Homo-oligomer: A and B are copies of this chain.
Amino acid sequence: MSSGFKILRRDFTSRGRLGAFPTIHGTFKTPVFMPVGTQATVKAMTPEELEDLGVEIILCNAYHLHLRPGAHVIKELGGLHGFMNWKGPILTDSGGFQVFSLTPLRRITEEGVTFRSHVDGELLFLDPEGAVRLQFDLGADIAMCLDECIPYGAPPRYVEESTMRTIRWASRSKAAASSLQGMALFGIVQGGTDLDLRRRSAQALVDMDFHGYAIGGLAVGESLQERLDMVEAAMEVLPEDRPRYLMGIGLPEDLVTFVGMGGDMFDCVVPTRCARTGLLFTHDGRVDIRHSEHARSNKPLDELCGCYTCRNYTRAYLRHLHMCKEILGVRLNTIHNLHYYMELMAELRKAIEDNRLAQYQRDFFNNRDTDGWDNTQWDRKEGQD
């Protein structure tokens, strides 16, 4: 099976690579950051604004959309593309992470997972075949296998049992997707912090031949060193000619690091969620716009930034909007943070093209305060954007 993924260039100074992934809704360049649009909207943004920022692919969430408004409703209305008016590629998460992080009650069996809706408490059941069908009905360009995202610190025996079950679920997912046209399917490597299990998980998926491979179970509480090791173990096994997607990653520091290890695809709620809490990414590091030091500042948020927000508004105005809980504040912050992320990815792609990714990484880490990078405060907890 060919995924259509093409590697266009390799960086000689790292394991970074430049690629292109074609879908019927257009080709996206890798390494790519996918903004999260859980409920068929990247919070506070229109599709046109995303396009203007250079966003090429977004992520939506099968679990949330299954609950509201229902995949059948979205299918009737032309799939996610018609429903939300986004014309580019869409990757959908299978819902596994949300089932395991959001729902109050759940029971996992070999067959699938029974859980209660976090919206209205309805008892629901999801199995690997259903998750594939759900994503197909949503009109996903790339679907993910149903997996279990193992909690950090789970007992070794549970980690192994769960990882093996996720592998069996991947096999069932692949069989279910075999008759569905136009949708790529990615397997998800699990294995917790057990590096040997990570390698076995990756190998089992590679043997099944997916269009791409995700590394799951990251950013759930592990230390930075553990995370690096977990990614490294999977990378040793995953094939060169398929995209590698690091789910739920990450902070700017993560992106710079993992692109150098051969990561191709990333998604994270950090830029959009932090925008809503007033935490903003700049070339000088992070700015908490709530701080009183910005109350009278007529400076733009980031003097090196060319985004709409930085071209038109002061820190004082952004702080005012945030303190007054004004929607425009969320909009301006989101535009800025997403612009920062998209620019960072463009710089990383350019550095690969120019064979200077290692140098870029050194400069990046030398020029900033990375306090808090190795810190679980940033980890995913809720499976919502």
Contacts and interface: CB of A to CB of B under 8 A. Distances in A.
Interface of A: 39-41, 43-46, 68-69, 73, 76-78, 83-85, 295-296, 298, 312-314, 316-317, 319-321, 323-324, 326-331
A373 to B, nearest CB: 29
A41 B313 contact: no
A84 B332 CA distance: 12
Given A68-B320, A76-B296, A77-B296, A39 B326 contact: yes
6 contacts: A39-B320, A40-B320, A46-B328, A68-B323, A73-B296, A78-B298
The A contact surface, by secondary structure, is loop
A224 to B, nearest CB: 33
Contacts of A77: 296, 298, 314, 316-317
Given A296-B76, A316-B73, A324 B68 contact: yes
Contacts of A41: 321, 324, 326, 328-329
Contacts of A328: 41, 43-46
Contacts of A330: 327
Nearest to A41: B328
Contacts of A313: 85
Contacts of A324: 39, 41, 68
Given A83-B316, A314-B83, A295 B44 contact: no
A327 B335 CA distance: 14
Interface centre among A73, A76, A320, A327 (most CB of B within 10 A): A320
A382 to B, nearest CB: 15
A327 B327 contact: yes
Contacts of A39: 320-321, 324, 326
